[in-house]
Amino acid sequence: MAGAPRYWYGDARVPWGAQLLEPAYASAMRLRRSLYARGLLRARHPGVPVVVVGNLTAGGTGKTPLTIAVVQRLQEAGWTPGIATRGYGRDGHQPLWVDPKTASHLAGDEPLLIAKRTGARVRVDRERAAAAQAIADAGCDVVVCDDGLQHYALRRDIEIEVIDGSRRPLP
């Protein structure tokens, strides 16, 4: 992955600063999740099934290819999925519907790839819960959230965690 630190993929030693931050980062993730689990922070559900594909580690672990495969399998089974995604690296911050003809600088590379490979509705939005609601309102009967495992404001029915085997939340 271009621009990713070499240590994400085992090619170099993890900087000591990242090693020191790892326990605090893992604790913060656990605390945040427990606040949602206890109902102290409110999660929203769009009224259709929600499948979240994500990971708990930094770096590329294959979430987007798995998201595409899940969407294609749902389509084969007769579902009409829509995909909620963040659109990292894109220009702009406004929510956006992505189709195969959307410029990559507006959509982001991964949302555009998903749209091209699946033909499904793709919604780019910083707020996954808002994207999921827009997808449901657009007539999709299932939401697949790409890279959304840590977005607990979106209540989900199924979580798929992609792991890389390092067992560390930070490489």
Burial of 23 (0-12, 13-18, 19+ CB in 10 A): exposed
Are 22 and 32 in contact by the 8 Å Cβ rule? The answer is no
Mean pLDDT of 102-123: 96
Are 82 and 135 in contact by the 8 Å Cβ rule? The answer is yes
Q: For each of the domains in the chain, give its residue range(s) and CATH number, in order of start.
A: 1-171 (3.40.50)
Q: How far apart (Å, rounded) are the C-alpha atoms in residues 94 and 140? A: 21
The C-alpha atoms of residue 115 and residue 76 are separated, in whole angstroms, by: 16
Q: What is the pLDDT of residue 153?
A: 92
In this prediction, what percent of the chain has a pLDDT beyond 70?
Answer: 87
What pTM did the predictor assign?
0.82
Residue whose tokens read 């399998």: 73
Region 157-169 average pLDDT: 78
Amino acid (1-letter code) at residue 155? R
Residue 3 binned pLDDT confidence (cut-offs 50, 70, 90): low
